[in-house]
Amino acid sequence: MTDIMSEAFGRELAARTAYEKEAVWLPLLAVHHLNAGEGVIRGKTFTDCVIEGPGLMAALDGVTFEGCNLGVAADPKSLFYKAQGPMLVGVVPFSQTRFIRCRFVQVGFTGQEAAIDQMAADLASARDAAGQGEG
């Protein structure tokens, strides 16, 4: 049995650049990166993964979502949070990271206001295209 809280497991998890077809628990990923001295999760690619919360993800520079399901909410705006001050505290920050066909469960999103507005608009467009929009 793998000890997911061990230092060896944490170093290995933080050093990886690609994750494919696996469940990724966001709080565990965050704590192992912090323990490795990395305050921002950077330069990763997640393909066909389930990203599980609870958690609030900060999408910083160069984060892309390609064909992802960002979550289930009657109103997609419920998934997005806007910063109320100059710093984001208590979030899991990502930079230069690609999410390809991933599904997010119990994850909220924050970041620069323009980026969050764009994510919300993209999600609404995708819902409308799939015939799931409000109406």
C-alpha span between 87 and 79 (Å, rounded): 19
Q: What is the DSSP string of 43-80?
A: S-EEES-EEEEEEEEEE-TT-EEES-B----SSGGGGE
Residue 133 lies in a domain: no
The range of the structural domain enclosing residue 115 comes to: 7-128
The number of domains in the chain is: 1
pLDDT digits (tens, 9 = 90+) for 88-120: 889 999 999 999 999 999 999 998 888 788 777
Residue 67 lies in a domain: yes
Output the pLDDT for position 86.
84
C-alpha span between 34 and 1 (Å, rounded): 24
C-alpha span between 128 and 96 (Å, rounded): 28
Residue 134 lies in a domain: no
Regions of the chain where pLDDT drops below 50: 1, 134-135
> In residues, how long is the chain?
135
Strand order in the sheet with 45-47: 18-20, 45-47, 98-100, 64-66
Residue 45 lies in a domain: yes
Residue 135 lies in a domain: no
Residue 112 lies in a domain: yes
Residue 55 lies in a domain: yes
Residue 2 lies in a domain: no
Output the pLDDT for position 103.
94
Output the pLDDT for position 76.
77
